[in-house]
Structure formats: structure tokens, C-alpha cells
Chains A and B, each alone.
Chain A
Amino acid sequence: MTDITLSDQTQNLVQELRRGVIILAVLSQLHEEQYGYSLMKRLEEQGMQIDQGTLYPLLRRLEDQNLLQSDWRVDTSRPRRYYVLSEVGKKVLTEMTTEWSRIKNTVDNLLINP
């Protein structure tokens, strides 16, 4: 992130803004199975940085809400917990994507026409 020059106040507000979209970002990358660390790397590569300390609890909460399912895998170099979208999760992601486009358009328009 290039927010080194942002003021503290702005940083807090940006954090809040990001918090709202993190779930969408996480769900979007879980069509294929990922374990926490690989998911974090994947998000990071695409410019979405997320703390591992935030990511793992979030994954568990999403699993509790039946949006994800998970499994321990022991066939890799060390045991890892893999997460993937559940059927409910896929449906929710589709709906959230539509909603996101709508919000994005609306806000873009608002910003263009102050």
C-alpha cells in the first residue's frame, strides 16, 4: 500500500472503507481451494493487502456462516487447512458482486457530480 503519506485520520477512514470490501475480496478468491497463507499471498499480489491476524478469524467466521467449507489436508509438506466457497457462498458471492457494481457505479457518479 502506498498510504505512507496519508494522515492518521485518512488512514483510519480508509481502513474502515476496506473493512467493508474485504469479505467480498476474500470470497472472490475462493472458487478454488486455498489455505490461509496462499490466499493472503494471492490477495496481496493483486493489490489487496490483508493482515493474517485478520484473515484467519475472518475465514472462520465465514465458515460459521456457511459461506465457506474447510478441510485439513495432510498430503502437503505440512498439514494445512483449505477453504473453498460452499454452495451458499457461491450464491452470496454472485449477489454481492451485483450489489458491489451498483454501489461502485452510484458512488462513482456521486464523486463525479459533487
Chain B
Amino acid sequence: MELLNAYLEEIRHRLPLKNRADIIEEIRSALMDMIEERSPGGDPDDATVKAVLMEYGAPREVARQYASHQSLIGPQIFPVYLQVLKIVLIVVAALNIVGLIVSIVNGSIGDNDLFIATFETVGGLFSSLFTAFAIVTLSFTLIERFAAEELQAEMDEDWSPEDLTIVEIRKRVKISEVAVEITFGIIFILLINLYLDRIGIYYLGDAGWVSAPILNDNVLRYIPWITGATMLDIALNLYLIRKEFWDASATIVKVIINVLKIALLAVIIAGPAIIAVSPSAWQALNLEVNLTAQQLTRQMNTVLDGLLGLAIFGLVVDSIKIIVNGFFRNDHTRLHIKTE
């Protein structure tokens, strides 16, 4: 029986966790039936047990039959995944290359350093492409977990042409857009929480590349709030993918998130300056601009406040649009065909 137990153990650890013990007991019971049937005299000999095990099959093969075919990213969203991956990778690659060009044009890289700089850019490019790939994949794994069943149900469901008026096209959620938002949301959260100090001025010092952070400590107090607002956005987007169209609660939650963001931006504008250009880094860049680091800091903060003000304006417009679309417009002129 030792042989039998060893065989079952080989199967057991390859089985899916669910019902493991139960499956093993069932196989044991079946094997015992087979062995008993072939040993009329009572005690089975090793040869009989071996023959039965051979007949039942290799443990790996037996276990494989119980595996459910789960995929990280299922066939329904795979095309969207590829599409988003392409967009994100192109954006990331473009940003890296723009960074290199800016450094060259700035003159912060001498002719001799160009080779090194290119080399480093290529290295950086690969690592950021890889990170972007991982984040997109992670986002879609989330979407698969939360929404794949709904997507499948939608594809399986019976439909009649009468269904077509149910959802108007402007309320329809575009999975690719939402997926991009989720992806960039995650990238943004990672960026501000882990790599905040990387946002800065890059220059080639004596000992290679140096980066001087451009944001000061004042920004730290906002990070949890910004992270929270972005996470709310991601949660809402996951809900939207599941729901597939904007309903009243999604509209209300989106408006609440926007109001929170507006408040947050207003607090940042009213609060102390968050940009501080390091004088030494500014000097190292050696641009032919007649500005001190202090002047530059002041100007950049003014510009930032202006941009944040614009963002508030954008959020207000967005909120009004969402409210009008969600609650006041009722034309059924543009219909979405659900079976695309």
C-alpha cells in the first residue's frame, strides 16, 4: 500500500486546492476496487498494484484532468489588453526618448557622454517598458477577476433587437478607455508613493547621472489624499466595467470623487509652495537662461497653481457633463448595438 500512497501523494500535490482531499479519496477508492478485483486470493501483490497504477495513468496526467482552465487574462478582454498594452508601451517609450532628446538639446550631455547617455536611456527604456508591461498586465488581471464573468454572460446572453434601446451610446462604458484609466491610475499611485523623488532635474555630474527632486516636503501631506482619490477612481472604473454603462449611482459617486479632487486641488493651491528647484542642480544644468533657482522656483509654482486651477475648471466641466448626461438628457437617437 506504500506504493499506492506514494502514487496518490504525487497526484495530490498537483491538484487544484479545492476538494483536494475529496478527489484523492475518490481515486483511492477506485484504485482499491481495481486492485481487489484482480487479487481474488485476498492480499494483492506488488505486480498487481503496479499494473493498476500503470493503467490509471501518470500522476501528472491524472491531476491535469482536474484542472480548471483559468486564465490570467481571458479571451474576452485579451484584444483590449493588447490594445492598451500597445498604447502604454508607446507612451512610455516616447517619454524616455523625449527625455534623452531634451538632455541632448539642453547641452547637459557633452559629445563624449552621448554614448553613455544613450546606453543608459536604452537600459532605462527596457526597465520602464518592463514595469509598464507588468502594470498593464496587473490591471487586466484585476479586470478579469472582477468583470470577466459579466463579460462572458453578456456574450452568451440571448438578445433580441428590442434590447438595443436599453443603453444609449453616451452612457455606454468603453472598456478600452476605462482600462487605460485604471492602468494609468495604478502607474500614478506607484509613481507618487514610490518614486516621488525621481521627479526632478536630471544632470550628468562627476559621478554619473544625478537627480535633484523638484518637489519639496510640503507635497508629502497630500500624497495619501491623492492616492485615496485615485484609488476611488480605480474602484469606480472597475465597477463601470462590470456594469457596462453609467447608472445613477456611478454618476453620483463620480461627481463626489470630482468634488473631493477639486477640494484637494484648492487646498494645494492655497497651501505652501510644493516646488523647489535645487540651486546646485540648476547651476549644473548650465542653461543659457538668465534666471536664478529662486526665481525659477517662484515662476514654476505660479505656473503649477495655474495648471491646478485649470484642472479644477476641467473637473467642474466634467462633473456638469456627467450630471447632464446622467440625469437630464433623454434622447434615444444614438443607440448602441449591443452585439458588436
Interface membership of B32, Cβ < 8 A: yes
Residue of B nearest to A58 (CB): B65
Pairs across A and B, CB under 8 Å, 10 listed: A35-B29, A36-B30, A37-B30, A37-B33, A56-B23, A56-B26, A56-B65, A60-B19, A72-B25, A79-B29
CB pair B56 A52 closer than 8 Å? yes
Contact with B along A30-72 (1 / 0, CB 8 A): 0000011100000000000001111011001000000000001
Interface membership of A18, Cβ < 8 A: no
Interface membership of B226, Cβ < 8 A: no
* Chain A interface category by residue count: 10 to 19
| Complex-state Cα separation, A72 to B65, whole angstroms | 21
Interface membership of A80, Cβ < 8 A: yes
Chain A residues in the interface with B (C-beta under 8 A): 35-37, 51-54, 56-57, 60, 72, 78-81
| Complex-state Cα separation, A37 to B30, whole angstroms | 6
CB pair A78 B56 closer than 8 Å? no
Residue of B nearest to A35 (CB): B29
Contacts of B19 in A (CB 8 A): 60
Report the tally of A-B residue pairs with Cβ distances under 8 A: 40
CB pair A53 B29 closer than 8 Å? no
CB pair B66 A81 closer than 8 Å? no
CB pair A53 B57 closer than 8 Å? yes
Which of B22, B30, B32 has the most chain A CB atoms inside 10 A of its CB? B30
Contacts of A56 in B (CB 8 A): 23, 26-27, 30, 65-66
Given A53-B56, A54-B65, are A81 and B26 also a contact pair (CB < 8 Å)?
A: yes
Given A37-B33, A52-B56, A78-B32, are A57 and B65 also a contact pair (CB < 8 Å)?
A: yes
Interface of B is mostly: helix
Q: Shortest beta-carbon distance, A59 to chain B, in Å?
A: 9
Contacts of A54 in B (CB 8 A): 65
Interface membership of B62, Cβ < 8 A: yes
Which of B34, B57, B61, B65 has the most chain A CB atoms inside 10 A of its CB? B65
| Complex-state Cα separation, A79 to B27, whole angstroms | 11
Which of B25, B26, B57 has the most chain A CB atoms inside 10 A of its CB? B26
Contacts of A72 in B (CB 8 A): 25
| Complex-state Cα separation, A36 to B23, whole angstroms | 12
Q: Shortest beta-carbon distance, A70 to chain B, in Å?
A: 9
CB pair A53 B32 closer than 8 Å? no
Q: Shortest beta-carbon distance, B56 to chain A, in Å?
A: 6
| Complex-state Cα separation, A2 to B19, whole angstroms | 37
Residue of B nearest to A61 (CB): B68
Q: Shortest beta-carbon distance, A110 to chain B, in Å?
A: 29
* 8 A-B pairs closest in CB distance: A57-B65, A37-B33, A53-B57, A57-B66, A37-B30, A81-B26, A53-B62, A80-B29
Q: Shortest beta-carbon distance, A105 to chain B, in Å?
A: 27
